[in-house]
Chains A and B, each alone.
Chain A
Amino acid sequence: MIRPAHRFPLLSRLLHWTMAVLVLAMLFIGIGMVSTVSSRYAQLVAIHKSIGIVILVLVAIRLINRLLNPPPPLPADLPWWQVVAAKASHWVLYLLMFALPLVGWAMLSAAGAPIVVFGAVHLPPILPHDVAMFAVLRAAHTVLALLLFATFLAHLGAALFHALIRRDEVLPSMV
């Protein structure tokens, strides 16, 4: 593989791939758990909450890291609209990686449900008990999760476009 002249810093790459695995796992765990009445439901919901909180912590670290270590430039000959799409979709991904765990935590708070992660850690509610608020947040959790999955698909398609068709340095810069 060609050694890219511009590469994401090591910490950025580590965070990217760790979180890629976790976020993708969360999307599949989430959509899978609400489709079953078997014992997997409770097991997966417990895992879902724990990984979700891990993602919230990691994305905060990742944002700080990104501000301290800006990403390398995109290929200079990339058409302007692809540059805009790349930058905009990255910010959408950040926004959703913050929003989904926060909405998840907030909706359980508004439902008056205990929020247990890692089997034993009880998180405090971040909203008062209010089921009208729960209803709004619960719907938002679904919509935002589907939006995250759609944005992920576009992101994956773009990464493969760079790797297989443009054959530029974008993918190598992240590996």
Chain B
Amino acid sequence: MPDDETDHAAPDGGTPDTATLLKRNPLQLIAIGVVLAATAGAFAYTGGFLTPQRLSPNHFVDAMQTAAGGPHEGFRRAHAKGICVAGHFVGTLQGRALSSAAVFASGQPVSVSGRLAESAPDPFAKDSSEAVRSMALRLQPAGAPEWRMAINDTPGLHVSTPQAFYDNVVASTPDPATGKPDPAKMQAFLAQHPETVAFLARMKARVLASGFATDSYNSVDGFIFVAPNGARRLVRWTMQAEEPFATLPAAERAAKPANYMFDDLLARVAKGPIKWRMIATLAQPGDPNRAAEVWPANRTHVDMGELTIDHVESEATGNCQDINFDPLTLPPGVAPSDDPIPFARSAVYSVSFRRRTEEAKAPSAVANKSAGARS
């Protein structure tokens, strides 16, 4: 393109070579360097690389792994020992009035898959007497957005903020010298967190259900139900066991085999479906939307529908093992509230999911089992 030459030439004729140009323009060169360094610095700052004290989801998972004595590769960083379940959910008319979510809309059975688990980070732990049990669900109405939830059998959470959750993990991390958590650190934490002291008292007072089927599971966190007319209500919900309540004396529990809760569940579902009622609790103005605080017992309860689990199978490629039960995967009709915990959970579960999918996984403790008819 020789014709272009005059168009692009500098006013005084040809442009000198690059080295000469750079030498003649030191201030400009510095200015460019400053702009580039400032841009890179702003990027690093935004990513938290200059502020290591910022609570990132990676810090969270690192701390949880350290407290657990190292990662169990391929497994969830919490609730590691679990089993997959499937069934359906049928919503009620009252449920439909409270939330426009598709799972309540039709009154027809909605496809459900999920996971029942123990909260310990060790996937091969013996089914312990005191373990927190959990239920994770995916409700997938045909042709409408799905709803994921991950709920626990505890009366609330031990803390109300992500920072307190993190501080608690750090305080319960075993001291490398003794192999045990430093009691002074936990004392210091409890001194600052009366809500944790109250939670531990509630945990001590509860009568433990005998297994997964007889247990009930709570959302713990507050969410907003949006009604078809747009009305918004702060709620929590419980999957209330329809199975008659049963408990096991501590001595009997201790004598049971390592996977007894899973074996019991498989045996139970082989006999027929297991059911729970979904009961929403409506907050009254002023009720604290903090996960460590329980609401007064006299709040209005609404029967939202019935959950049926009729199939149980071991974790395997492609089933519940490979799902991130992110509690913020919500359908229209359900929205996050100002409870800060679900936001932190969403970020942290994403990191846990990323790490475990990058690692090779050993077979689960309860492998190659399945029971119950597939509906």
Per-residue B-contact encoding for A62-106, CB less than 8 Å = 1, 0 else: 000000000001111111001000000000000000000000000
Asked whether, in the complex, the Cβ of B326 is within 8 Å of the Cβ of A113, the reply is yes
Interface size on B, residues (CB 8 A): 58
Q: What residues of chain A lie closer than 8 Å to B47, measured between beta carbons?
A: 31-32, 34-35
Assign chain A's interface to a size class. Answer: 35 or more
Of chain B, the residue at the smallest CB distance from A31 is: B47
Question: How many whole Å from B12's CB to the nearest CB in chain A?
Answer: 11
Q: What residues of chain B lie closer than 8 Å to A32, measured between beta carbons?
A: 46-48
Q: What residues of chain A lie closer than 8 Å to B348, measured between beta carbons?
A: 37
Asked whether, in the complex, the Cβ of B146 is within 8 Å of the Cβ of A138, the reply is no
Complex CA distance for A77 and B8, rounded to whole angstroms: 7
Asked whether, in the complex, the Cβ of A76 is within 8 Å of the Cβ of B343, the reply is no
Per-residue A-contact encoding for B323-359, CB less than 8 Å = 1, 0 else: 1101011001000101010011011100001100110
Of chain A, the residue at the smallest CB distance from B18 is: A79
Question: How many whole Å from B108's CB to the nearest CB in chain A?
Answer: 20
Within 8 A of A (CB), among B1-56: 1-2, 4-5, 7-10, 14-15, 17-18, 21-22, 25, 28-29, 31-32, 35-36, 39-40, 42-43, 46-48, 54-56
Q: What residues of chain A lie closer than 8 Å to B324, measured between beta carbons?
A: 111-113
Q: What residues of chain A lie closer than 8 Å to B32, measured between beta carbons?
A: 157, 160-161, 164-165
Complex CA distance for A112 and B353, rounded to whole angstroms: 12
* In the assembled complex, A135 has its CB within 8 A of some CB on chain B: yes
Q: What residues of chain B lie closer than 8 Å to A78, measured between beta carbons?
A: 8
Complex CA distance for A157 and B37, rounded to whole angstroms: 10
Q: What residues of chain B lie closer than 8 Å to A156, measured between beta carbons?
A: 35-36, 39
Per-residue A-contact encoding for B92-123, CB less than 8 Å = 1, 0 else: 00000000000000000000000000000000
* In the assembled complex, A1 has its CB within 8 A of some CB on chain B: no
Instruction: List 12 other contacts, CB 8 Å, given A34-B47, A153-B36.
Output: A38-B162, A38-B340, A39-B336, A39-B343, A73-B8, A76-B2, A77-B5, A79-B17, A113-B324, A114-B145, A130-B318, A131-B317
* In the assembled complex, A13 has its CB within 8 A of some CB on chain B: no
Complex CA distance for A96 and B312, rounded to whole angstroms: 44
Per-residue B-contact encoding for A30-51, CB less than 8 Å = 1, 0 else: 0110111111011000000000
Question: How many whole Å from B255's CB to the nearest CB in chain A?
Answer: 38
Given contacts A77-B15, A112-B322, contact A36 B43 (CB under 8 A): no
Asked whether, in the complex, the Cβ of B43 is within 8 Å of the Cβ of A31, the reply is yes
* In the assembled complex, A6 has its CB within 8 A of some CB on chain B: yes
Asked whether, in the complex, the Cβ of A153 is within 8 Å of the Cβ of B40, the reply is yes
Question: How many whole Å from A156's CB to the nearest CB in chain B?
Answer: 7
Complex CA distance for A42 and B327, rounded to whole angstroms: 11
Asked whether, in the complex, the Cβ of A36 is within 8 Å of the Cβ of B332, the reply is no
Q: Which of A14-22, A52-60, A166-174 contacts B (4 or more CB under 8 A)?
A: A166-174
Given contacts A156-B39, A169-B8, contact A37 B55 (CB under 8 A): yes
Asked whether, in the complex, the Cβ of B28 is within 8 Å of the Cβ of A113, the reply is no
Per-residue A-contact encoding for B41-78, CB less than 8 Å = 1, 0 else: 01100111000001111101000000000000000000
Asked whether, in the complex, the Cβ of B336 is within 8 Å of the Cβ of A42, the reply is yes
Q: What residues of chain B lie closer than 8 Å to A139, measured between beta carbons?
A: 358
- Partner of A37 from the list B35, B162, B358 (CB cut-off 8 Å) is B162
Of chain A, the residue at the smallest CB distance from B3 is: A76
Question: How many whole Å from A25's CB to the nearest CB in chain B?
Answer: 11
Given contacts A161-B32, A165-B28, contact A35 B357 (CB under 8 A): no
Question: How many whole Å from B174's CB to the nearest CB in chain A?
Answer: 24
Question: How many whole Å from A172's CB to the nearest CB in chain B?
Answer: 11
Given contacts A114-B145, A114-B146, A132-B357, contact A164 B31 (CB under 8 A): yes
Per-residue B-contact encoding for A2-30, CB less than 8 Å = 1, 0 else: 00011000000000000000000001100
Asked whether, in the complex, the Cβ of B347 is within 8 Å of the Cβ of A41, the reply is yes
Q: What residues of chain B lie closer than 8 Å to A130, measured between beta carbons?
A: 318
Per-residue A-contact encoding for B200-217, CB less than 8 Å = 1, 0 else: 000000000000000000
Asked whether, in the complex, the Cβ of B46 is within 8 Å of the Cβ of A35, the reply is yes
